[in-house]
Amino acid sequence: MRRPTRLVRTAMIVLTGAALALVVGFFVFVGIVVGATPPADPRAEGIVVLTGGAARINGALRLLSEGRASRLLISGVNPSVGTSALAGIVDTKLEAVLDCCVDLGHDAQNTIGNAAETRSWAEDRGFASLIVVTSDYHMPRSLAELSASMPGVSLVAYPVSNPELRLGEWWRDAGPFALLVREYGKYLVAAARKSVSASPAPAAAGS
DSSP helix/strand/coil, 140: helix
Strand order in the sheet with 129-135: 102-105, 71-75, 46-50, 129-135, 154-160
Amino acid identity, position 49? V
d(CA 146, CA 132): 9
Q: How confident is the model over 135-162, as pLDDT tens digits?
A: 999 999 999 999 999 999 999 999 999 8
Domains of the chain, with CATH numbers?
A: 37-193 (3.40.50.620)
Q: Could you write out the three-class secondary structure of 66-104?
A: CCCCCEEEEECCCCCCCHHHHHCCCCHHHHHHHHHHEEE
Q: How confident is the model over 72-87, as pLDDT tens digits?
A: 999 999 888 888 888 8
> Above 70 in pLDDT, residue 111?
yes
Q: How confident is the model over 169-184, as pLDDT tens digits?
A: 899 989 999 999 999 9
> Above 90 in pLDDT, residue 116?
yes
Q: Lowest mean pLDDT: which of 2-16, 108-122, 170-184? A: 2-16
Query: Of 97-101, 129-133, 158-162, where does the model show the most confidence?
Result: 129-133
